[in-house]
Structure 1
Amino acid sequence: MFVPLHDSTPLKVIRFQAVTLTIIALNVVMYLATGAYASEQVLALIATGWGVVPGEITGLSPPVYSYEPVPEPFTLITYQFLHGGWWHLISNMLFLWVFADNIEDAYGHVAFALLYLTCGVLAALAHVLTMPYSGAPLVGASGAVSGILGSYIVLFPRARVWILLFLRLPLRIGALWVLGGWFGLQVFSWWLERNSETGIAWGAHVGGFIAGAAITYAVRRRLWMRLEA
């Protein structure tokens, strides 16, 4: 287990990662405003109403609650701004803060926002595809953040990243090894727990990462030209 602390890639085009900070702020505000931390009952109600429930998306399972504040397809967006706990929120936002600034720099503010939301949607759909009957709600920015990690490994594989291994050992490692190892762990965990509901959406992590890497790989030359201009 590790947490990222800092990377070695400076900003070249934008002055500040405004969209990244806005996304982080929205996630924190939504967590506090919804009161999801208040109790398990409140969290369950919010998660099933605003989160992605695979069985409801596919129509293969009946709704757990009658509370449906938005049409089910809209939850592919709203789920990205909800979290199940403080550690869930903090870990996602820390990964986003460390890696997203350079992706925002490469894409530009508007295109970065679209990339982030698109990866989140595709990550949720990957989760739905792997668990079409599940009645457990999916919440969290993990899928969208995974897409940013996939984008980073395509654009900056040689960057150096400071991480805290096992939450106590600081190391400076190449991004290819850090993010490649992280992705390998997600794939292994998804395969190991593919027939169970553990509360961690490994399929969304894998799907988001692949989506971000694939989209960025398709436009990588244009992005490199923007950074080198």
Structure 2
Amino acid sequence: MFPISDDNSRPGTPYVTWGFIAACVLVFLWELSLPDKALEAVFYRYGAVAAQLTGTGEQAMGAPAVNVSGDWSTLVTSMFLHGGLAHIAGNMLYLWIFGDNVELAMGRVRFFLFYIACGVAAALAQIWMSPASAFPMIGASGAISGVLGAYLMLYPYGRVRVLILPFPIIILRVIEVPAMLVLGFWFVLQLLSGLFSNPAEPGVAFAAHVGGFLAGMILVLVARQPGVPLFEKPRPRSPWERRRRGPWG
């Protein structure tokens, strides 16, 4: 079940969401221009390395000695680095789908601060789970997880178009399901994956995903604009909307 769009249009322009996407894409294009050794040095310098921040553990074998011990600003800079095309494409798709509605519910300044706070909280959750990890943590997924948590609190009944591959009929289909189902399934998947993985090893930072999601659910309580309700009820759909299919199917 892979989300590709939502049917939850709101009046306004999500400039901050677009800005975060643009920043991540521009940084990624810069990464592509670097040779492998230089890119590795960037990851270790601007990624969040738990062992460096906590003063525990040892440097990863063969890692460049470029970290600045105790540089907590890497909790923010790490959000704009990505390890490959699939990494950034998946993150930016989720931010594109869910970020606009959350931003419009909070306002630009609040959403900017909310996004950064969720990213920091997500990184701290991963560091708490593995304080001696010597591998750099990079990616916007922790902050985006916070956006998903906020979306669940604001629009649990919002309709999300997802791509599915039903078995045994191997035919791609697009269906609409409530956001609570999509995001709830995503959260449970992250939680279970985290339980069966070693946070000290390189790979997906499941603890960051869980931590960011929970932070988003909590912070939206104070970050949303006055008058914006939680758990918004589904709006009635016209017959035309019920018949209409999106651009993906």
* C-alpha distance in 1 between matches for 2:164 and 2:138: 26
* C-alpha distance in 2 between matches for 1:58 and 1:101: 35
Equivalence map 1:52-131=2 (5 Å)? 52-63=48-59, 64-68=63-67, 72-131=71-130
* C-alpha distance in 2 between matches for 1:19 and 1:148: 13
* C-alpha distance in 2 between matches for 1:93 and 1:70: 30
Q: Matched residue of 1:157: which SS?
A: coil
Equivalence map 1:116-195=2 (5 Å)? 116-166=115-165, 168-194=172-198
Q: Matched residue of 2:133: which SS?
A: coil
* C-alpha distance in 2 between matches for 1:164 and 1:225: 29
Which segments of 5 or more consecutive residues in structure 1 lack a partner in the other structure? none
Query: For residues 172 and 202 of structure 1, do their structure 2 counterparts lie closer, same or farther at Cα, with a shift above 3 Å needed?
Result: same
Aligned residues of 1:36 and 1:84 also touching (Cα < 8 A): no
Aligned residues of 2:199 and 2:205 also touching (Cα < 8 A): no
Aligned residues of 1:31 and 1:37 also touching (Cα < 8 A): no
The alpha carbon displacement at 1:125 in A equals: 0.3
Aligned residues of 1:3 and 1:91 also touching (Cα < 8 A): no
The alpha carbon displacement at 1:172 in A equals: 0.8
2:21 to 21, 24, 29: 24
Q: Matched residue of 2:66: which SS?
A: coil
Aligned residue for 1:200? 204
Q: Matched residue of 2:48: which SS?
A: coil
Amino acid at match of 2:129: T
- Structure 1 segments, 4+ long, off by >2 Å, are 34-39, 41-44, 61-66, 68-71, 165-169, 217-223
Using the size of structure 2 for normalisation, the TM-score is 0.82
Aligned residues of 1:96 and 1:148 also touching (Cα < 8 A): yes
Aligned residues of 2:55 and 2:70 also touching (Cα < 8 A): no
The alpha carbon displacement at 1:42 in A equals: 3.5
Aligned residues of 1:50 and 1:69 also touching (Cα < 8 A): no
Q: Alignment length, in residue pairs?
A: 223
* C-alpha distance in 1 between matches for 2:33 and 2:66: 15
Which segments of 5 or more consecutive residues in structure 2 lack a partner in the other structure? 166-170, 233-249
Percent of pairs identical after alignment? Answer: 37
Using the size of structure 1 for normalisation, the TM-score is 0.89
